[in-house]
Structure 1
């Protein structure tokens, strides 16, 4: 069981000293400290009482206060999941079932879940055979089995593309890209090896030049030079979207065709992911490259794969592997099971790119146009989606979406 309660639910006033902190908040801080100790000591009954008191204090606050601190009027699902686990460990089967039912209602249609972890969690063993628990698991599976949702997605359909529509790529001779190449000495970064080694070296460079921070605000100026300087100046990171844009610019500057790809789930409740795709002339296909996790994906023979190939292999349960050094911020090693089977299986339902791959792609600039093209299963083209707006150009022709940039 993942223990999120200490960091996720701790309410901290970052700008106020203790004396200025509201009494209810001071109580929560004390309960957090106590919960740490109770958890380490495995005093489950006392931990349950601690968390029930924590919730009572939170829920006694006005809606406006809860919205300020929780971004919602209720605690997130993980709070109730952990509470159900601790009630189960404390021998309170009835309470555990009731709380697990509340958790189920709380997350469905609202929050993402890790179904694999829930199924494997021994903390809930005491209620696994209960009909009420099984009913909850059926509902949670229908909501949170992201890989099955991907498998159930309808096929694409070719031939439905407006005449003249084509992805465009900024020339490496563009002055901004030339400046980028020279500023960071990208020729040296790429090295003198073959095409694939250059692609990997540039991926590694972007992964290491800034850190990933998914909660950071996007900078006003969104190009590689500006973002690296900002991160160094303010000791901050950028989110996956900015990292993917940086890597896209770096590839463009080095003469590759590349674009950043927003990978979207069927139901967007909180999270998506953005990676880069770069065209390999050696392999004659687009490749999956993810600067957030320094990750690329391979088949059983170690051949790098495209986003389209990874998506289809997930749908058909064919072998996949990720590179050994895939990691988050050089701190957390990635596994195929979490990165692909859970996280990216969730985020490969819809795929979105900008029509023009360029320097400063999403910096607000007078006179610059911003058009997004989203690849969707055929049956979703005219459907309302929480992930895809009506203002985007929707297509279902995957062959067109992934055609070689060198085709006429």
Structure 2
């Protein structure tokens, strides 16, 4: 079984900048590749030997190379997690537990933990009854059980003194948005169906038109037209933030009120996620749409949900349904368990939106002031970022764009 954490490790290796491009890491990479082949053959003892040798090779690298691989010059937690799994399957239970303890020591406070995956990973079944393993699992649950972390967040509170700016949205007759609508024939893409079908058709078009690449550099010109053309010309993708900005401008061009929303964990280690909230006049609420995963979320009756509603349902345990065709780059299907119970439970501790939703929202333009941002946070929480205005007034933050300010 190809392990999710193993994939994360390989991504970390290839995205580690100069170190991944030197002549000193290929022996390390070759050993990991050999380990993968042994896994396919079910030869876990040989796989473990590759991991043990790779660990020695890495330890002998100069400090200058190891610190380019990771900030502290140590292997990522995913390496030790996978090693523990393969030791477990090789029948080396004591060594597996010890390595799993090392994995926990490595990741707690430093890296993200996919706790639901650890709880169901059959590769660890040989050591689940071990008392030491259960103690480590308890430690990890307090840190990496993101649904529990979300549930423990303080509630929102309507501010007694309203200082939050009103969100503003570019009109569809903006000349740049008119050109965008015409150039990509967004009317045909949206189709002639009802409002919800148009919203979802536009999301799917962006998902298919530009692939997601979380490690790509952000382009300097950050509007839908420029980014789509850049990706076509260079055969590249963009990260979730850029995808959400592309879709945001498509919605604005079609007359929808829309925002791109940065969804943040309580403490940022590796990543956050950016999706869209588009206002449905039919449902009279904001609707969750995610172009990275071609994803939307429904209740048990099939009604589309907002970001606020998904967050509250994660907190109180009410049903959530992910669309069946949610996927990553048309290569990997996305599941409700991973996408909502783990990934978005982690990334919905607080959310951030730009005050203005417009064409070229985040393109640096000479003479234009920097964009201001508003974060909706649990009462009493203070995120690390300082360049945002904070509010705990969820009613105001998610107010209808057609409602007058009270």
Instruction: Tell me, yes or no, whether TM beats 0.5.
Output: yes
Distance in 2, matches of 1:29 and 1:272, equals 28
| More displaced 10-residue stretch of structure 1: 338-347 or 4-13 | 4-13
Name whichever of 38-47 and 299-308 sits farther off.
38-47
Match of 1:145 in 2: 145
Q: Which piece of structure 1 moves more, 42-51 or 287-296?
A: 42-51
> Per the alignment, do residues 70 and 189 of structure 1 end up closer, same or farther by CA in structure 2, a change over 3 Å counting?
same
SS state of the match for residue 352, structure 2? Answer: strand
With over 3 angstroms needed to count, the CA separation of the structure-2 counterparts of 1:132 and 1:406, relative to structure 1, is same
After superposition, residues 255-404 of structure 1 pair within 5 angstroms as 255-369=255-369, 370-380=371-381, 383=382, 385-386=383-384, 389-404=385-400
Contact kept, 8 Å, 2:15 with 2:215, in 1: the verdict is no
TM-score by length of 1: 0.92
Q: What is the aligned residue count?
A: 399
Aligned 1:113-124 pairs, distance under 5 A: 113-124=113-124
Maintained 8 Å contact 1:156/1:377: yes
Q: 1:102 to 1:390 in 2, by over 3 A?
A: same
How far residue 358 of structure 1 moved from its aligned partner, in angstroms, is: 0.4
CA contact (8 A) 2:8 2:78 kept: no
1:169: how far off? 0.6
Deviation at 1:9?
A: 4.4
Aligned to 2:166: 166
Distance in structure 2 (CA, Å) of the matches to 1:313 and 1:205: 28
**Change over 3 Å in CA distance of 1:116–1:46 after alignment to 2:** same
Instruction: Tell me the secondary structure at the aligned position of residue 155 of structure 2.
Output: coil
**SS in structure 1 at match of 2:69:** helix
**Deviation larger for 157-166 or 345-354:** 157-166
Across the aligned residues of Structure 1 and Structure 2, the Cα RMSD in angstroms comes to: 2.2
* 8 Å Cα contact 2:164/2:391 also seen in 1: no
Do the aligned partners of 2:84 and 2:97 also contact (CA within 8 Å) in 1?
A: yes
Residues 124 and 158 of structure 1: CA distance in aligned 2, closer, same or farther (over 3 Å)? same
* 8 Å CA contact retained: 1:160, 1:396: no
User: What's 1:204 paired with?
Assistant: 204
Aligned partners of 1:12, 1:346: CA distance in 2, in Å? 24
Give the C-alpha shift of residue 323 in structure 1: 1.6
- Structure 1 stretch 232-241 or stretch 367-376: which is displaced more? 367-376
| 33-42 or 190-199, which deviates more | 33-42
Q: Relative to structure 1, is the Cα distance of residues 80 and 227 closer, same or farther in structure 2, using a 3 angstrom cutoff? A: same
- 2: distance between equivalents of 1:225 and 1:299? 34
| Other structure's SS at 2:288 match | strand
Contact map agreement 2:17 2:68 (CA 8 A) in 1 = no
In structure 2, distance between residues paired with 1:47 and 1:333: 28
CA contact (8 A) 2:35 2:48 kept: no
The structural deviation recorded for 1:311 is 0.6
Distance 1:198 1:61, change over 3 A: same
Shift of residue 309, structure 1, vs aligned partner: 0.6
1:129-278, aligned counterparts within 5 Å? 129-160=129-160, 162-163=162-163, 165-278=165-278
Give the CA deviation at 1:298: 0.7
Q: How far is the alpha carbon of 1:114 from its aligned partner?
A: 1.4
**The 10-residue stretch of structure 1 (182-191 or 40-49) with the greater mean CA deviation from structure 2:** 40-49
Detail structure 1 runs of 4+ shifted over 4 Å in the superposition: 4-7, 9-16
Gaps of 5+ in 1: none
- Distance verdict in 2 for CA 1:15–1:302, change over 3 Å: closer
Give CA deviations for 1:99-158 in whole Å, capped at 9, x if unaligned: 111000111111112112211223222322222111111110001100111111111000
